[in-house]
Amino acid sequence: MLELRQITADEFVEWVRVEARAYGNRLNADPEVLRPHFDLDRSIAAFDDGKIVGGAHSHLQEISIPGATSPIAGVANIEVQPTHRRRGIMTMMMHHQLKDIYERGEPLAGLFASESVIYGRFGYGVGSLREEWSIERHYTGYAQRHETPGRFAFINPPEIGTLLPDVFRRSTLGRPGVFQKASHLWEREASAPEHRQGGRGGIFYVAYYEGDRMEGYARYRTGEGTVSVQELMAASRTAAASLWRFCFDTDLVTRAEAERRPVDDPLTWMLADPRRLNRGTRDGLWLRLVDVAAALSMRQYTAEGRLVFEVRDEVCPWNAARFALEATCEGAHCKATEAAPDISIGVAALASAFLGGVSFSTLEQAGLADENEAGALERANRMFAVQQQPWTPCGF
């Protein structure tokens, strides 16, 4: 008989072992190191004959949304061990978890999908995109002359958690889709074994200063003739141009790579020969509107207006309704209504539009939304437009 419930403290180690089996990994981290960052109250385990065979978890986080921030359940550690797959266990856990998140009063859920085909059926939509880049070094020249007015300095691992969080915050201010890194994630970066490798394959942090103020930093590694930029955060235009130049001009490399870049990153417009930048786009954060009315009431809108959405949601029945959204310069309010719908849309597609990453017109052309009132799509496009595309540079 299958049972779903939270785990106890005594069951935590076995829960971690099941996750390792599910992903085909060895248990290469001490469970006691993970325990302080694991909320037992937010855990789910599937028990078969008293033994854990699957599980899921979530972290209470804060995410930036257009003009505001919102609490969000950061869903992670979703697993079913190989002996119990194809039995509907994951579906049971996902339904159970979404109901629990709703009852906690958390309007959003988000996750990073190991398999992108899975989560749409649970109402998750692509909330942010990211790009992976590569370019040969001799094509990295800028279209305009650049001089670096500031200075560079390397950051030692013990300084990471003290010096970098403020720059990360200022660099991502106002951009939807961002989680600010928790202190233990900065601590994990500082203690990463790659720091001890040095040279080939080692991770380095370089900061850019203007006067005494740090305006940006880059985390990178080199090896096999390539500089790989894992993270680059800049709080000013000059800092961004200077840090990219520093990375591109690294000695003994002929190629540069970068990961998790925003789709509207200005570097693609800074290059003299942008065609040479190989760009690959893929999904980043998958977003779920757990409480449609609450979520739509929290964000700000770039135009005033009224829209009635008819939402389809097969997993969360409280969302399967019509909602009237009223947006004014003072704020927004959304509530259930019996009024005729302007737009009919599935909850996953609405989640993709929520942060501003896709227009309602595009969703309509993709067959994911229907315009019931002439002009409604154009009105929705104006209201949900954003100045910066959603980006999720780190997890939770």
Any idea which residues carry the catalytic annotation?
A: 119, 396
Structure tokens at 331: 């704020």
CA 250 → CA 125, 169, 242, distances in Å?
A: 39, 27, 13
Q: Which amino acid is at 372?
A: N
**Residue 256 and residue 227 in contact, taking contact as beta carbons nearer than 8 Å:** yes
Beta-carbon contacts of residue 361 (< 8 Å; ≥ 6 apart):
377, 378, 381
Tokens 């969360």 appear where? 316
Cα–Cα distance, 342 to 356 (Å, whole number): 19
Q: Please give the full DSSP string across 124-153, using - where no structure is assigned.
A: -EE--EEEEEEEEGGG--BSS-----SEEE
Cα–Cα distance, 313 to 288 (Å, whole number): 11
Structure tokens at 263: 């789709």
For the four alpha carbons of 153, 171, 213 and 159, in that order, the dihedral sign comes to negative
